[in-house]
């Protein structure tokens, strides 16, 4: 009978899908490798809704940040949200590292995820400010391009525009600093006085994607 054939087809097709979804629910996102490290970082354009209080770019609300314009520098992109408790844990560490490495040309940007910008502004004020600009991501387009599993997640882009590493969960200042030192040692830092960028070699050592 047709209904029996239809039921059998549904079971054969739907069964594996349901099993795959059930398996995915048991996986820790930290254990799922990201395909981005070692590959070019997805380019993005974001509008500033909260300028950093210690940012050398001197950006204002409404200014546009384009990742492509920072090629030749190390860029750190942190995805966060005001409703994210773990984001509070890493906030001070990220701001401290951003201040420490700003003279060496490293740029930090905070990308708001699945949240409203007024909530983000209030959150930053509650946290005592932020050393780097916060960017909006309408429709979570950038988050989708980066394959975000949740927040916080942080991506470090090297001077060539490749993702050097992805951090899942709160970032520790020491671990971030170690990675930045390695990238700057390999390629050198931009000259802050002339805004020139040091030559970048054709290859860089790939960073481990696990914390």
pLDDT for position 5: 56
pLDDT in tens, 98-113: 999 999 999 999 999 9
Tell me what pLDDT residue 38 has. Answer: 87
pLDDT category at 39 given cuts 50, 70, 90 is very high
Cα separation values, 53 from 41, 56, 73, 86, Å: 26, 9, 20, 22
Whether the per-residue pLDDT at 202 is higher than 70: the answer is no
Q: Are 64 and 18 within one domain?
A: no
Domain that holds residue 22: 1-32
Tens-place pLDDT, residues 122-131: 999 999 999 9
Name the H helices within the chain.
Answer: 2-25, 85-101, 117-126, 141-145, 173-187
> pLDDT tens across 134-184, in order?
999 999 999 999 999 999 999 999 999 999 999 999 999 999 999 999 999
| Model pLDDT for residues 8-23, shown as the tens digit of each residue | 444 444 544 344 334 3
- Does 88 map to a domain? yes
> Integer distance in angstroms from the first to the last C-alpha of the chain?
55
Please check whether residues 62 and 157 belong to one and the same domain: yes
Distances (CA, A) of 13 to 7, 19, 20, 21, 48: 10, 11, 12, 13, 46
The answer, yes or no, to whether residue 33 has pLDDT greater than 80, is no
| 97 shares its domain with 156 | yes
On whether both 21 and 75 belong to a single domain, the answer is no
Higher-pLDDT residue of 79, 27: 79
| Residue (of 114, 112, 137) closest to 123 by Cα position | 112
* Inside any domain, residue 203: no
In tens, the pLDDT along 63-96 reads 999 999 999 999 999 999 999 999 999 999 999 9
Tell me the C-alpha distance between 86 and 146, whole Å.
Answer: 19
pLDDT score of 37: 86
Same domain, 92 and 163: yes
Tokens of 8: 């059998």
State the total domains in the chain.
Answer: 2
User: pTM for the full model?
Assistant: 0.75
Residue 141 lies in a domain: yes
The answer to whether the beta carbons of residues 151 and 113 sit under 8 Å apart is yes
In a domain, 126, yes or no: yes
Helical ranges in 26-134 per DSSP H: 85-101, 117-126
What number is the average pLDDT over the span 37-65? 91
The predicted structure's pLDDT at residue 2: 56
Residue 208 resides in a domain = no
Judgement on whether residues 27 and 39 belong to the same structural domain of the protein: no
Give the list of residues 6+ apart from residue 140 with CB closer than 8 angstroms, or none. Answer: 113, 114, 148
Q: What is the CATH number of the domain that holds 63?
A: 3.40.30.10
In a domain, 207, yes or no: no
Q: Are residues 21 and 120 located together in one domain of the fold? A: no
Contact 72, 201 (CB under 8 A): no
Instruction: Determine, yes or no, domain membership for 95.
Output: yes
Looking at the fold, whether 3 and 51 belong to one and the same domain comes out as no
């Amino acid at each position: 009978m047709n209904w029996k054939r239809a039921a059998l087809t549904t079971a054969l097709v739907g069964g594996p899908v349901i099993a795959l979804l059930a398996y995915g629910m048991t996986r820790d996102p930290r254990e799922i490798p990201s395909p981005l490290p070692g590959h070019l970082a997805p380019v993005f354009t974001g509008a500033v809704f909260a300028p950093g209080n210690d940012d050398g770019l001197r950006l204002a609300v409404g200014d546009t940040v384009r990742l492509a314009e920072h090629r030749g520098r190390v860029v750190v992109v942190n995805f966060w949200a005001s409703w994210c408790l773990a984001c509070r844990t890493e906030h001070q560490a990220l701001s401290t590292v951003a201040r420490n490495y700003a003279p060496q040309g490293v740029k930090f940007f905070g990308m708001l995820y699945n949240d409203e910008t007024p909530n983000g502004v209030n959150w930053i004020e509650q946290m005592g400010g932020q050393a780097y600009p916060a960017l909006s991501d309408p429709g979570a387009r950038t988050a989708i391009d980066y394959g975000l599993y949740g927040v916080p997640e942080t991506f470090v882009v090297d001077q060539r525009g490749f993702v050097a590493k992805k951090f899942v969960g709160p970032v520790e200042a020491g671990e971030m600093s170690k990675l930045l030192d390695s990238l700057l040692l390999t390629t050198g830092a931009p000259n802050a006085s002339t805004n020139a960028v040091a030559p970048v070699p054709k290859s860089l050592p790939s960073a481990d994607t696990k914390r």
